[in-house]
Amino acid sequence: MILVRPSHTVLTVIDGEQILKSIEAAGRVCYKTEAKITLSSAKAFVQARLKQGHESVIEHENISVKIICDRGVAHEIVRHRLCAYSQESTRYCNYKGGVTFVIPPWVDIEPGEYPSLIDLTSFTSEAAWCSFMVRSELCYQRLIADGWFPQQARSVLPNSLKTEIVMTANIREWRHILRLRTSKAAHPQMREVMIPILEDFQHMIPVLFDDLKVKEGDKA
Average pLDDT over residues 24-35: 96
pLDDT digits (tens, 9 = 90+) for 132-149: 999 999 999 999 999 999
Give the global pTM: 0.92
Q: Which of 57-71, 118-132, 181-195 has the lowest mean pLDDT?
A: 118-132
In a domain, 94, yes or no: yes
SS3 state at 212: coil
Cite the active site residues. Answer: 181
Asked whether residue 125 carries a pLDDT value surpassing 70, the answer given is yes
SS3 state at 135: helix
User: Which letter, b or e, does each residue of 64-98 get, where b requires 16 or more Cβ atoms within 10 Å of its Cβ?
Assistant: bbebbbbbbbbeebeebeebeeeeeebeeeebeee
Average pLDDT over residues 152-176: 98
Read off the CATH number of the domain in which 193 is found: 3.30.1360.170
In a domain, 56, yes or no: no
pLDDT digits (tens, 9 = 90+) for 204-220: 999 999 999 997 666 65
Asked whether residue 120 carries a pLDDT value surpassing 60, the answer given is no
In a domain, 76, yes or no: yes
- Structural domain tally of the chain? 1
